[in-house]
Amino acid sequence: MKVVSVVGTRPQFVKVAPVSNALRGRGIHHLIVHTGQHYDPLLSQAFFDDLAIPPPLVNLGVGSASHPVQTAAILAGVAEVLAAERPDWVLVYGDTNSALGAALAAAQLRFPSAHLEAGLRSGDRRMPEERNRVVADHLCDLLLAPSQAAVRNLGAEGLAARTVLTGDVMADALAAMRARQAADPPALPAALRDGPFLLATLHRAETTDDPQRLAAILAGLAASPLPVKLLTHPRLADRAARSGLPLEAGAVQPMGPLPYPVMIAALQASRGLVTDSGGLQKEALLLGVPCTTVRPVTEWPETLDAGWNVLVGDPAGLAAALSRPRPAGDPPQPYGDGRAADRIAARLAGQRPVTGAPA
């Protein structure tokens, strides 16, 4: 049996690591296609190295481009690989252009496809990620849902018959990394060892491509009561420079992206996270770190329970959100038992899955 995984961005590399291990553990031939959507070494190759992901069969090298151009290049490149490899399953991940392009290629060539992280909905069709995830769900033959909320969303769209609740593979990856770090903790950069701090990431187009919104968010971060270590995505650096917006101001201290093991250690060491990322909202919840999401909606509603994640659509409310107290008690754990990848591998292979409730 042969499975082709199509990945191209930082969160997808995290997700493919446990899936690759689970597929190999069940004797399934697994090939990885890297679209090249993320190409900075710290956002790409570092993840393959740190998570011991097998090298990709091919890197399509699509790089940066507009959504239509990038998706078209991914569609064409993945279609060529699928025609040559003829897999039993094509596995697509999340809500990126890589996921959409791969789902389209599989559907057009009539190869069975499965969507990992199916069923997420923010309700905002203006977001390219929302459009991508909705179309991928309706194209794919098997929908691998990470949570009960995702299952309900798919059922409401008439997709219940294709849906399987697996739990979330990012919980698998995080559990494995925490076990590894318990025995061999990574060293934090010096800039993260000089006292309490908040961690911040900004990369989505709706954040970075509107100069007024970006300026307002940066101003809110600058007024933070704690230093803000801003991990600077290439898109953020480019858009800020084009708009003449300095990243280093007030409390904000820009840094480069961090390798995954160091990122997890930094998140654990922080007093809180400010982000527009979807995956980091989950990672913060799983680690018990308060999160402030600079978006009006989230595709991960479970993170909002008990105030562990707070949405800030209007940057004017950012300062107040950053000053809120830490929630009492332990955070909810809605994303499964750390065995989602094995359930996914079993389902693709038609084998008996692990026992236990996924979420």
- What is 246-311 written as a DSSP string? -S--TTEEEE----HHHHHHHHHHSSEEEES-HHHHHHHHHHT--EEESSS--S-GGGGGGGSEEE
Is residue 127 one of the residues assigned to a domain? yes
Residue 116 is part of which domain span?
2-168+336-349
Is residue 49 one of the residues assigned to a domain? yes
Residue 96 Ramachandran class (φ > 0 left, ψ -120 to 50 alpha, else beta): beta
CA distance 237 to 243: 10
Shared domain check, 340 and 281? no
Residue whose token pair is 């969303």: 153
pTM for this prediction: 0.91
Give the burial class of 154: count Cβ atoms within 10 A of its Cβ; 0-12 exposed, 13-18 middle, 19 or more buried: buried
CA 57, 46, 77, 109 torsion-angle sign:
positive
The CATH code of the domain that includes 215 is: 3.40.50.2000
Shared domain check, 199 and 143? no
Give the burial class of 72: count Cβ atoms within 10 A of its Cβ; 0-12 exposed, 13-18 middle, 19 or more buried: middle
Shared domain check, 193 and 155? no
CA distance 227 to 310: 19
Shared domain check, 137 and 19? yes
- pLDDT at residue 46, rounded to an integer: 80
* Low-confidence residues of the chain: pLDDT under 50: none
Is residue 37 one of the residues assigned to a domain? yes
Q: What is the end-to-end Cα distance of the chain in Å, rounded?
A: 28
Shared domain check, 113 and 211? no
**Element counts in the chain: helices (H) and strands (E):** 14, 13
- pLDDT at residue 355, rounded to an integer: 54
CA distance 146 to 123: 18
- pLDDT at residue 135, rounded to an integer: 98
Is residue 311 one of the residues assigned to a domain? yes
- pLDDT at residue 353, rounded to an integer: 59
Is 233 considered catalytic here?
no
Is residue 260 one of the residues assigned to a domain? yes
- Domain total of the chain: 2
- pLDDT at residue 359, rounded to an integer: 56
Strand-pairing partners, residue 115, are: 92, 143
In one-letter notation, the amino acid at residue 342 is: D
Shared domain check, 164 and 211? no
DSSP 120: -
Shared domain check, 280 and 138? no
Q: How far is the CA of 92 from the CAs of 115, 215, 347, in angstroms?
A: 5, 35, 15
Selected catalytic residue, list 34, 115, 203, 233 = 203
* Residue 82: its H or E element: helix 67-85
- pLDDT at residue 98, rounded to an integer: 96
- pLDDT at residue 352, rounded to an integer: 60
Is residue 358 one of the residues assigned to a domain? no
- pLDDT at residue 69, rounded to an integer: 93
Is residue 356 one of the residues assigned to a domain? no
- pLDDT at residue 11, rounded to an integer: 87
Backbone angles phi, psi at 59, to 5 degrees: -115, 115
CB-based contact 340:170 (threshold 8 Å): no
Nearest of 110, 125, 116 to residue 98 by alpha carbon: 116
Q: Classify each residue of 313-342 as buried b or exposed e, where b means 16 or more C-beta atoms within 10 Å of its C-beta.
A: eebeebbebbeeeeeeeebeebbbbbbbbb
